Chains A and B, each alone.
Chain A
Amino acid sequence: MATEKLTLKIAKAGGAPCACGSCGDSFQKTALERALMRVTGISKANFDTIGGKVKIEYDPEKVNQPKITERLEKLGYRIENTGGVT
C-alpha cells in the first residue's frame, strides 16, 4: 500500500486556546489527531500544537488532499499554507 505524506500549517479559527501550552493544547491535539485518523485512508496524523503544523500520512487511493482539508475546515481549523506532498 503506497502512502503519501502531507504537512499542513493550520490555525484554529477563533484564536489561541489557552496561554499555557500544556493542557489546553494537548486537548486539541488529541481531538484533531483522532478525528483525522478516523478518516478512511489516513493512517497517521501528528499535530505539533506549538508550530501549528499537522503531518498526515495517507493512502492516495482512498482519500485525497481536498478531502483532508475539508475535514480540517469542518473541525474548525484554517489552512494557512498547503505545505505540499512529500
Chain B
Amino acid sequence: MREYIRGTALLVLGVISAIASWLILQTSIAYASVTSIALAFVAVACGYTIYVTALRLLFRKRITVQLFATVAITASIAAGYYIPAATVVLIILAGTTLEDYVLYRTRGSIEKLVNMSPKTALVRRDGTEVEVAVEDVKLGETVLVKPGDKIPVDGTVISGYSAVNQAAITGESMPAEKAKGDQVFAGTMNGNGALEIKTEKIAEDTTIAHIIHLVEEAEEKRAPIQNIADRFTTYFLPFILILASAVFAATYFLVGLQPAITRTVSILLVACPCALGVAVPVAVVGAIGNASMNGIIIKGGTNIEKVKDVTLVAIDKTGTLTIGEPEVVEIKTLNNHSEDEVIKYAAIAEKFSEHPISKAVTSKATELGLSIPDPTKFKIVPGRGVEAYYRKQQILIGKGMANMAFTEEEDKVISAFESEGKTVLPVILDKQMIGIIAVADTVRKDSGKAVQRLRRLGIKTVMLTGDNMRAAKSIAGQIDVDEFYAELLPEQKVEVIGKMKEGNVVAMVGDGVNDAPALANADVGFAMGAAGSDVAIETADVALLGDDLTKVEYTIRLSRKAFSKMKMNIAFSMAWNALGLTLASIGLLVPILAAVLQEAGCISVIINSALLLLYK
C-alpha cells in the first residue's frame, strides 16, 4: 500500500478518537483516566511507524530524528501530558503523509511517459490480424496501427499515410506527417490514417523505453550542491544532542524540572535536517521531470548546475539552425520561358541523380504538380553538373557545364544569387539558357526566435559551419547570431570550442552524431533531434528529442530556476531550524508548536521544489 494512503487512514482514525476522547473529557472529569488511556493509545498507535523506524535504525547504530520524536513523545506521556503527546503524533503523521503524497506525485511525471506505450499490438501473421502483447512482437513483423491508436513499436512505415502526434517523445504538439519509409516511435499517437509498420525495436529497446530509463537514472544523479546540504546534516544530529542536554541542564538548575522537560521535548521535535536532506534531490527530480515532459533529457543534477552557468551557445549550422536539406528557393526565367518549363527540364535532367541538389529540383517539380518524363540519355559530371537528352533536345544543368559566355543579365543574376550564399543552377536547353534555379539550405523557422531568446538571457550565440563563407554569412545574417565561423573541419570546431571556453561557459548544440567531438569538448553538449539516434541520446549532456531549437533557451531558464530553488531551500531550512531551535531553547515554543513548525518547514521545501514541475 502506498505510504500516503496508509497515513491518511491512520490520521482519520487518530483524529476521530482524539476528538471523541476530548469530548468525553468535557462532559465529566470522572472519565479523565479513560480519556488519558485513549489519548495515549492514539499516540502509540498512530505513531508506531515512527517508533519502529527509530528502533530499527538505532539497532543499526543510526541516531535519527524519529528517535528524537520517540523520546519526546515518551517523555510527554510519562510526564502525563496526554493531549500534547497525541496532538504532536497526529501533526507529525499529517505532515509526513502530505510529504509522502507530494513526493509521490513529483516522481509521477515520468508516469505520463510510461502510460504512453500501449500494452498490445495488432500484428499480421499468416495473413490474419492477431492482437499480441508488445513483448511478443517479433522484429520484422508487420504491425497495423488504426487511426487514433497509439503506435506500439519503433519501426518504419511500409504503407499508409497519417499525421502522428509525437509529443510523448519530442514534446512538440504539432503532428508530424508520416508516409512510406518514415520512422515512427512507440508511444506516439496515430492521427487519421491507418499505418502498416515494419517492427524494428520492441519493448525495452524502443526509444521511449530508453528515454524512461535515462530519465530515471538522471533523477538519481546527485547535484554537486547536495554536498553542502550533506555536510550540514552530518553535524546536525550530534549538535542537537549537545544542545538538548545543555538546555535541559541549564533550565533544570535555573528554572525547574517541568520547563526543562518542555524545552527539551520542543528542541527534539523542532530539529529536523529532513528539509535539508530533500531540498536538493526533490528539485532535481522536479526539473528533470519538467524537462522530460517537454522532450528534453537533462542528464542529472550536475548538468543542471552546468547549464545554468552557460554564457555562450555555439550552434552547428547544417541540420541544426537549418533544416539540412537544400530546397529550391528562387527561379529566374529567361528568354520568355515559364517557371514550370525551367523546373520541368531541370527535373528531367536530374531525375536519376541521387545528389541532394537534384532531389531539391525533382521535389520542387512534384510540388508544382509536374510530371517528369525519363531522359533518353543522362550523364553526371562530378562537381560540375548534369548533361541529359530528352526528345533529341540537349539539357545542361550547372555552371560548370555551360560551355558558353553568359550575357550581362545572366551574370548579374548569378552573382546576385551567389552573394546570398545560394547554389546556382543555370538550365540550358539546346545551347540557350532558359532559366536559373537557386538552391539553398533553408533556416528552420524557430532559429531566429531561439537566438533572440538566448540574447534576452544575456547569452552570446556563435554559429559554426563547415560550409563556405558566403553561405555562412547569409545564414548568420538571417538568424542574427553574434558571431560565426565558416569553413571549419570537424577538428577545427573542437579547437574553436576550446578557445571560446576561455572566459565563457560554452554550450554546443549539434546533431550529436557528426558533431560528437565538439559536443564532448564543450562544457555542456546539447544534441538536437536526438529521437532517432540512441548514440546521440546516450552521449549528450542534454538531449533535445525534437527539432525545436528554442528548447535550448528553455533548458537554461529551467536550470537557473531549479538551482535558485536548491539554494533557496538550503538557506531556508537552515534559517528555519535555527529559528525553531532558538525559540525552543528559550522556552517560547511549546511541543505542539514545535511539531507544527518542523513539519511546515519540511513541507514548504518539498512543495517549493515540486512546483518546478509546473514551470513554463
Contact = CB atoms under 8 A, between A and B. Distances in A.
Interface residues of A, number: 27
Interface in B235-263: 236-237
Contacts of A38: 114, 212-213, 216
A60 to B, nearest CB: 14
A75 interface: yes
Given A20-B272, A21-B66, A31-B220, 12 more contacts: A14-B222, A18-B277, A19-B63, A19-B233, A20-B64, A20-B66, A23-B602, A23-B606, A26-B100, A27-B282, A34-B111, A50-B53
A20 B278 CA distance: 10
Interface string B82-103: 0000000000000010011001
Contacts of B272: 20
Nearest to A50: B56
Nearest to A25: B53
Interface in A15-59: 15-24, 26-27, 30-31, 34-35, 38-40, 50-51
Contacts of A22: 50, 53, 65-66, 96, 99, 274
Nearest to B230: A15
Nearest to A63: B204
B135 A30 contact: no
Contacts of B203: 40
B406 interface: no
B32 interface: no
Nearest to A12: B220
A21 B99 contact: no
B66 A76 contact: no
A31 B220 CA distance: 8
10 contacts: A14-B222, A18-B274, A18-B276, A19-B277, A20-B277, A23-B278, A40-B135, A50-B53, A50-B57, A76-B221
Contacts, number: 102
Contact of A24 (B212, B216, B278): B278
Nearest to B240: A19
Contacts of B278: 18, 23-24, 27
B281 interface: yes
A74 B538 CA distance: 13
B236 A19 contact: yes
B274 A24 contact: yes
Nearest to B215: A35
Interface string B271-305: 01110111001100100000000000000000000
B104 interface: yes
A21 B53 contact: yes
Given A30-B107, A38-B212, A75-B217, A21 B3 contact: no
Nearest to B92: A22
A80 to B, nearest CB: 14
Interface string B34-71: 00000000000000001001101100101111100000
B216 A23 contact: no
B41 to A, nearest CB: 22
A35 B216 contact: yes
Interface of A: 14-24, 26-27, 30-31, 34-35, 38-40, 50-51, 62, 71, 74-76
Interface of B: 3, 50, 53-54, 56-57, 60, 62-66, 96, 99-100, 103-104, 107, 110-111, 114, 135, 203-204, 212-213, 216-217, 219-222, 230, 233, 236-237, 272-274, 276-278, 281-282, 285, 602, 606
Main secondary structure of the interface of A (DSSP, over half): loop
A14 B300 CA distance: 14
B96 A23 contact: yes
The 4 A-B residue pairs whose C-beta atoms are closest, nearest first, are: A18-B277, A20-B65, A20-B274, A76-B220
A76 B217 contact: yes
Contacts of B281: 17, 24, 27
Contacts of A39: 204
A26 B114 contact: no
A24 B277 contact: yes
A20 B273 contact: yes
Given A15-B230, A21-B53, A27-B281, A74 B213 contact: yes
Contacts of A18: 233, 273-274, 276-278
Contact of A19 (B50, B64, B219, B222): B64
A23 B277 contact: yes
Contacts of B212: 38
Contacts of A51: 56
Greatest chain B CB density within 10 A among A22, A27, A62 is at A22
B213 A30 contact: no
A38 B209 CA distance: 9
